[in-house]
Amino acid sequence: MMQHHTVQEPTGVRDGASRLRLHRLEGYDSHERVVRVEDTRSGLRAIIAVHSTALGPAGGGCRLWTYRSQGEAIADVLNLSRGMTYKNALADVGFGGGKAVILGPVPKTRREDVFRSFGRAVNMLGGKYITAEDVGVAVSDMEQVSRETKFVCGLKEKNGIGGDPSLFTARGVLQGMKAAMKVRYQAGSLKGARVAVQGLGSVGAKLCDLLAAEGARLVVADIDEERAARLQARHGASRASLETILLEDVEVVAPCALGGAITGMVAKNMRAKVIAGAANNQLASREVEDILRRRHIAYAPDYVINAGGIIMVAAEYRGQFDPTYVRHEIDRIYQRTEEIVSTALRRDVSTVAVANEMVEQRLARR
């Protein structure tokens, strides 16, 4: 993970057509490349991290977020890019792992310029990094990126494949949740199961729709009260506060907001015996893994079950607009999750340890 860094200006690369500059950040031993991107004309400030290209170009979305500092942004992108290596390896999509973050806020009047500038930065990496949508970024933003580079996904839609990947991500999470429920509760379906969903953005809301169709009983919470109220009305869900949603009396909690939601306190006090959500980096620390193991709480690792979006994106990038193929690959998340959770319970180790072991074996074969 993050060791230390120094900014070495001589390694910067400048796009002659603008004031765009890429500065290589040194000292991240577990990453192949980390660059800081600046464009004084558009106002773009971004970090792009390439964790691994062992299995292919580094695929991973671009997140727009307002960070408290550049250091916080770097820490986030390093965690996310490493997670993408693991996610892409397990999903077998032919991508390595990478991620980008744009430091907000970005005024609406500058948004088009910022994303076109970001597209030029991606292009300057020569295909080492393939970008797509993530938190705070829309298909329309990626369309601006595509005006400057071909190394972008989440654009074209054909036969229901392409564009916004959030529904595909939600479908994968649903498969992982079903598998974890089968192992932990010997439940053949989610009908009647109580599921607490934290975060009702693009993926969280779609996951709720899918869960309601399965007959699950929902408890929901979101920072946007109006959004939570709409979801409550649509599905007859119960409401909880952001402070209590993960401690509700339910079978499953689904963190679908930002990372670090499962803290030590939450792990010690939660009543659910399954954690299966869409958020990246859900566990706040390594200590949490051990607490969950001791309490026999089945954590479906986020990078295993939230891979539906990248499965679709990879198919789009290859021009494989085949919904049957994409659905089949997403359905495999069920079997993968079942194997990981079952193995962890049998060996009395964390599910993260089992999943990581599988990834490392795949990387070692390359």
Query: Which are the catalytic amino acids?
Result: 99
Structure tokens at 359: 């990834």
User: What sign does the dihedral 305-311-312-314 (CA atoms) show?
Assistant: positive
Nearest partner of 218 among 229, 204, 232, 230, judged by Cα: 232
Across the strands, what pairs with 102?
46, 64
258 vs 70: CA distance, rounded Å: 18
Q: Which residue has the tokens 């974890």?
A: 180
64 annotated as a binding-site residue: no
Structure tokens at 150: 């071909």
Contact 58, 40 (CB under 8 A): no
What b/e readout covers 300-322, taking b as 16+ CB neighbours within 10 angstroms? bbbbbbbbbbbbbbbbbbeeebe
User: Which strands, in side-by-side order, build the sheet including 298-299?
Assistant: 238-239, 217-221, 194-198, 252-255, 274-275, 298-299
199 annotated as a binding-site residue: yes
201 annotated as a binding-site residue: yes
Nearest partner of 52 among 31, 77, 75, judged by Cα: 31
202 annotated as a binding-site residue: yes
- Which residues make up each annotated binding site for NAD(+)? 199-204
- Which residues make up each annotated binding site? 199-204
